[in-house]
Amino acid sequence: MAPELPQQAIGALALALVAIPALVVSDYRQYRPGRYLFKPAAALAFLWLALAMGATESRYGLWILAGLLCSSAGDVLLMPDNRHSFLAGLVAFLCGHLCYAAAFTSSHYTPTWLLVNGAAALMLLVLSLRWLLPHLDAAMKGPVVLYTAVITGMLVSAGLRATQPGAGLILAGAWGFAFSDLAVARQRFVHPARANGLWGTPLYFVSQLLLAASVAVVQS
């Protein structure tokens, strides 16, 4: 029999179920008040879930909580549509990825899984940069390359947990987060379109919820 979810976790998931679709609709209809209301609400949902699942009770949980806090700051910073806020948001998310990488670090790992996951991460890095670099101006190339390299490091570190408790939540959350960034990059640099948010936004928030939920399983 599956363990019963804490009431606070149910509340966090209920908030997510309302806020995420409302945010997607608001962005698609370019309704700015809805975006400013529902994006922080969706970020609050993954923070609330992590706390409800015991994020403060383990080293892993504290690093995940730190990453979620950085990500929520990035969400707020990306709401204004200008370069300065975008760069500030990029820094916040970069710090979030570093926190996740610290959380995933483990001395107990399977080399084969680490190799497979690392090779996939490096392939994503190469393909992403080949796709993005022609669309970037000189000022953005450095920050984007650095950010992409940090994401790759986060994905590689997730492979350290591939055979441990919570591996499914960790790998799905880490890879989902990375792929959701492709929607942001496409919107910002390649082809702005309402469709980018239709898949990128739900994927991002679901990925964060998965990482938040993983703190209940990983106790190291």
Domain positions in the chain:
7-214
Q: Tell me what pLDDT residue 111 has.
A: 83
* pTM, 2 dp: 0.94
Residues 39-76: pLDDT tens digits? Answer: 999 999 999 999 999 999 999 999 999 999 999 999 99
Residues 137-155: pLDDT tens digits? Answer: 998 999 999 999 999 999 9
Residue ranges in the chain whose pLDDT is less than 70? 1-3, 107
- 11 by Cβ neighbours in 10 Å (0-12 / 13-18 / 19+) ranks as middle
Helix/strand/coil for 117:
helix
Buried b vs exposed e over 114-129: b needs ≥16 C-beta within 10 Å? beebbeebeebbeebb
